[in-house]
Amino acid sequence: MPVKSLDAADNGARKAILLLNGAEARGVFPRDAVRLDDETRADVGDLIVAFVGDIVRALCDRMAVHQIDAEAVSVRLARAGMLRDTDLVGEVIDRARLSRIASRLPLIARESEASFLVRLSDCPDDRVASAATALLRAENRRRAGSGGTELPAELHHRMVWWVAAAVQDMIAQPATDRMIVDAALAILGTHDEGERVEACASRLAAAIDARPAELGEVLLAALGDTRLALFIAVLARATGTSFDNVRQAVLDPEGDRLWLLLRAQDVARPFMAEIGVALTAADRRRDVHAIADWIDWAFAIDVEAAQAAISDLSIPRDFRAARRALEDAT
């Protein structure tokens, strides 16, 4: 039987997030999170609420236990420092920002025309159709909140063990350690990173495998269908870099990486302009008046020079970090 009610965990987690509002002086949130605007901060809180509640409910269901105070679990996690995990909170912040931008993208499809992703799901190429259908399902799961945390595996593992430890601490009864560990392991065993929206979008981008001459059109079609994850995945595929690297470029309203990535693939000026306009309409941090300047700046760079400038992004992040550490040590 689940604990008390299915709302208990959500209420408790929400109390934990409210506890953090205005708690910067105590250092509960990482430094980056302190600088969030109110809207993004609320979105981050909602995501954490959903993640904590999902894991607490799953643990309680698997252990068939009663009377676990999910509210106390959530508050204890906040006070214990789970939200000082910069990797975890950084991922949640990026997810929240990306979701907000995607929700505000202007729809550029004609009313009589099926969405780009739906059309891809009907593609005669079975690989493209299957990947598009998988992405549609993944997006629906995420919107419905039925896909679990959908965090990267390492972060999901960390969060499950955080919650499991808090639940164990609240139960504090003999013979519960093994029961909680078994329940947590079972939850971890059901987590399929390949079913995340980001992974599904990357598989679809690989199936599409847009040629250079059609890349701008595919990118704009993805944005026009408000499929920001697919836009990121297609550009990552074309540039040979990771989804996370392109996501960071998209989320940076003042940086040059997005324009360099587009220039490195020789995306035509009109497509680049439309991409800039769409992202600016969706992200209030971007300056619409700066689009032309950024495009002029990008086109002042040779394609080959742009490719050289982004070449480091194709190297795995951990390898780059290790290389920098070795350089600093010499």
Structural domain containing residue 177: 7-108+150-191
Q: Can you read off the two tokens belonging to residue 124?
A: 């005669």
Count the Cβ atoms, other than its own, within 10 Å of residue 326: 9
Buried b (16+ CB within 10 A) or exposed e, 275-285: bbebbbebbee
pLDDT in tens, 261-281: 999 999 999 999 999 999 999
Question: Does residue 178 belong to any structural domain of this protein?
Answer: yes
How many CA atoms does the CB half-sphere of 305 hold within 13 Å?
7
Question: Does residue 125 belong to any structural domain of this protein?
Answer: no
For the chain, give the longest Cα–Cα distance.
69
Percent of the chain with pLDDT over 90: 53
pLDDT in tens, 226-253: 999 999 999 999 999 999 999 999 999 9
Spatial distance between the Cα atoms of 237 and 61, rounded to a whole number of angstroms: 40
Task: Give residue for tokens 């997006």.
Answer: 139
Question: Does residue 161 belong to any structural domain of this protein?
Answer: yes
pLDDT in tens, 158-178: 999 999 998 888 776 665 788
Contact 96, 39 (CB under 8 A): no
The total number of structural domains in the chain stands at 1
| Local confidence band at 287 (pLDDT 50, 70, 90 cut-offs) | very high
Closest Cα to residue 243, out of 197, 298, 311, 177?
197
Spatial distance between the Cα atoms of 281 and 104, rounded to a whole number of angstroms: 7
Question: Does residue 90 belong to any structural domain of this protein?
Answer: yes
Question: Does residue 60 belong to any structural domain of this protein?
Answer: yes
| Res 289: pLDDT | 92
- When mean pLDDT is compared across 1-5, 49-53, 83-87, 244-248, the lowest value belongs to 1-5
Report DSSP state, residue 319: H
Question: Does residue 179 belong to any structural domain of this protein?
Answer: yes
pLDDT in tens, 88-126: 988 999 999 999 999 999 887 655 567 899 999 999 999
What global pTM score does this model have? 0.85
Question: Does residue 234 belong to any structural domain of this protein?
Answer: no
Which residues, 6+ apart, have CB-to-CB distance to 165 below 8 Å? none
